[in-house]
Structure 1
């Protein structure tokens, strides 16, 4: 393995840090490195695995202003592994957001996190809540040959070179509406993007939404295959909500109105405390991707959903799958400490996240729904070539009790109603694990599953590769990383073939 250090950063967190999401598996990285000819410590890298595994990570450099740090506040850091001809190379880089650059210059935190009051921020900022730092540390996707990172409370979408991870600035869709006669609506300057935009690999379109505290409270947009704004339309809600994800089919986008919101009484005092009101029920808004017609709402059982796996059309129905929460805000027990309650809010077992299916009948307006599994899992991925189309395979993660850590994989066949599982050894924690189709793959999930793991016992990290059809077999290749990396969540896969298409343009 050949390793070169690109840059070292000075952390202001101190050596005596005890926060559960800045220590252990979540210990931040402060060094950016490049590494080639990575060591394969078990198995063999398949030669028909060619592309990039990209994972975003919440990776703080500075202490929270009042000390109330939440892991979603951490600065974005992308870790990337490139597979080519049976070899692998690695690099990691901070996402050079405007907020991070300002704090590096100031030598300390300038913006309050989600657990702190916006009034504690020393500068104006970003986010649906306002006056936050846009850390761009939530999701990562690839559109038109560029990696895009996003922020969970709405922010700018930052552009990165997928190979070098150089930050290229933010998208400027508002500047691209001129001379585009097909645009319906205008993406205002300063408008933001929520955590989980979606790329339709069949059309090349990127679909997104955002939300705020101002009416109409939500907008939906489409960026076409040429990178131009095609649509930006309001989706009126009864008041401010806290949506996180969306889904799409060939012809529709699916948005949501869940009964999770900032407490209206506290919000009137500029206080931001989430409250769950199940008596309001849930609603799903279905809007045509071509911008025609109005939003059509379907009622459903009360819940909150962080992540959807996919959606598709079948006759008169739209089928949506994702993670229904049985307890979106876990009940606080008598005598429970604040840190215990905090841990529960990030524990998928406490949230009771289970794979669920909703059926929306466009003819009758009725909704039918049912659980697909009793096991608690989350963070689903599919073969991205089938986004918006009928799928069978879903890869999901199991969670370590009491922590926001992934200790296993579950591979679902949602058509047959079967699954297979793999559990990592004790003290080894993984990342979201996308499907990576083999070169020339034709069938669904014909390829591999890729993930980063951090091994606390050995203070090391690896990339592990699984056969997508035999998850229970365990990794078929284990590749040593040049340093122990912080745990992380969302990741994506992009093939060399797809990247080459955009380089050729």
Structure 2
């Protein structure tokens, strides 16, 4: 069955030369639901896989105001549900206040991250200039999906069965005022707690909070920083959270004049604030490390007196662009090239007794978007599942599995013209070990023009996909993804996976 929910009304010029509005990034102009014969299956859907794979992304509707950055577009969720060998897919826009305002106007009303000076009305995010696109991160918490954008936005709740937008969280969004939450909120699947942070250009420059399993805001405190910062991720262990104060931020002198120009201050150490889960600013232990930027962590955990953080370090977040024109998309592509930035797996260790920091390079290969088994988030994990980026492009064309116990790695590179999304681990029903399950990802297939959901055996990813579900239409490239097992899709005692 194919059920068309809504046809889009794009005003994007067909003549545009923006690489992030064309090719694998080209927005889809349709919201729909597909199940049964409308979903072609190559291979066999595992019957021991039950739950939902949901991926967020930026799917622009209207002709942009100024230069369009891939983080600017309207948030759209793509989700596929697995239940006893059957699947159902749907995609829906997150209907934020900004999205609805532009829908009514029939055009863009807010600029993007590259040209906030063009704003003509109050916006959202830490710059207070952007539309609340909520297109970056996605998790499932307290039976509902929650989405937000990386520059901080209102926390929008989404129905985890229909993808209907329910609006900013009824319980606690108002308590955050105009700060909202930054992407990369962390869900502890053992306690149901969700840890989050936000940041802004005026004091307090950061806030940290905890929402409990019943969706109550139970903790929210300001965190002292030396000035406005531009963090992207945070860490979570069983008893602590790890907050980031990194030396890539807006030039302070330019910022005083209203100009937003990111710089990387190579003589300023990276700082990591380890705070008890329900701690205050006075409880934060700050640790210094080599200057860097971090987009995405793999996992954090405790080991004796040490708090350990593993993820993708970016030693060169602002590459040399002196050989490029001051304007144009070639410059933006260079800025986003993970090969130029040198992103690779790294480990930081913070000793809570002595204050010592130790660092360790885990791999030379460029990789990003690391994921672990959700039940090991905040606990020591053996495996990380990373994506491999295409050189010179904001695209991912392979997967790499790390075994930190043996040092062994496995990989799979997609055929040319096929690009993966962030790929979480999905455990089998009654799984016997940390990697007993599947890796799930959407594929943007430029060869067929149709999107796919692809499953790998997590213990043998090098052997390639064991199952491919073909959608009727393309799935554009996107941002972050989440696997929610059936146990996370319960609300009022009724499983939404049934």
**Pair in the same fold by TM > 0.5:** yes
* 1:329 correspondence with 2:318: yes
Q: Give the C-alpha shift of residue 192 in structure 1.
A: 0.9
Gaps of 5+ in 2: none
* 1:367 correspondence with 2:357: yes
1: distance between equivalents of 2:81 and 2:411?
26
1: distance between equivalents of 2:116 and 2:423?
34
Task: Indicate conservation of the 8 Å contact 1:63/1:69, yes or no.
Answer: no
Aligned twin of 1:470: 460
Q: Give the C-alpha shift of residue 131 in structure 1.
A: 2.1
Aligned twin of 2:27: 28
Q: Give the C-alpha shift of residue 229 in structure 1.
A: 1.1
Aligned twin of 1:441: 431
2: distance between equivalents of 1:335 and 1:474?
39
The one of 161, 166, 171 equivalent to 2:164 is: 166
Q: Mapping of 1:78-477 within 5 angstroms? A: 78-118=77-117, 120-174=118-172, 187-291=175-279, 294-335=283-324, 338-477=328-467
Q: Give the C-alpha shift of residue 379 in structure 1.
A: 0.2
Task: Indicate conservation of the 8 Å contact 1:250/1:388, yes or no.
Answer: yes
Q: Spell out, residue by residue over 1:384-428, the C-alpha distance to the aligned partner (whole angstroms, 9 max, x if none).
A: 001100001111000111111100000111222111000000010
* Aligned length, in residue pairs: 492
Q: Spell out, residue by residue over 1:292-326, the C-alpha distance to the aligned partner (whole angstroms, 9 max, x if none).
A: 65211000000000001110000000110011112
Task: Indicate conservation of the 8 Å contact 2:60/2:73, yes or no.
Answer: yes
Q: TM-score, normalised by structure 2?
A: 0.96
Task: Indicate conservation of the 8 Å contact 2:247/2:268, yes or no.
Answer: yes
2: distance between equivalents of 1:432 and 1:214?
33
1: distance between equivalents of 2:207 and 2:339?
32
1: distance between equivalents of 2:491 and 2:435?
22
Task: Indicate conservation of the 8 Å contact 1:144/1:502, yes or no.
Answer: no
Q: Give the C-alpha shift of residue 273 in structure 1.
A: 1.0
Q: TM-score, normalised by structure 1?
A: 0.95
Task: Indicate conservation of the 8 Å contact 2:141/2:192, yes or no.
Answer: yes
User: What secondary structure sits across from 1:280 in the alignment?
Assistant: coil
2: distance between equivalents of 1:335 and 1:237?
34
1: distance between equivalents of 2:405 and 2:325?
42
Task: Indicate conservation of the 8 Å contact 1:372/1:417, yes or no.
Answer: no
More deviation, 129-138/298-307: 129-138
Question: CA distance change for structure 1 residues 139 and 175 in 2, over 3 Å: closer, same or farther?
Answer: closer
Aligned twin of 1:182: none
Aligned twin of 1:179: none
Q: Give the C-alpha shift of residue 173 in structure 1.
A: 4.3
1: distance between equivalents of 2:437 and 2:324?
49
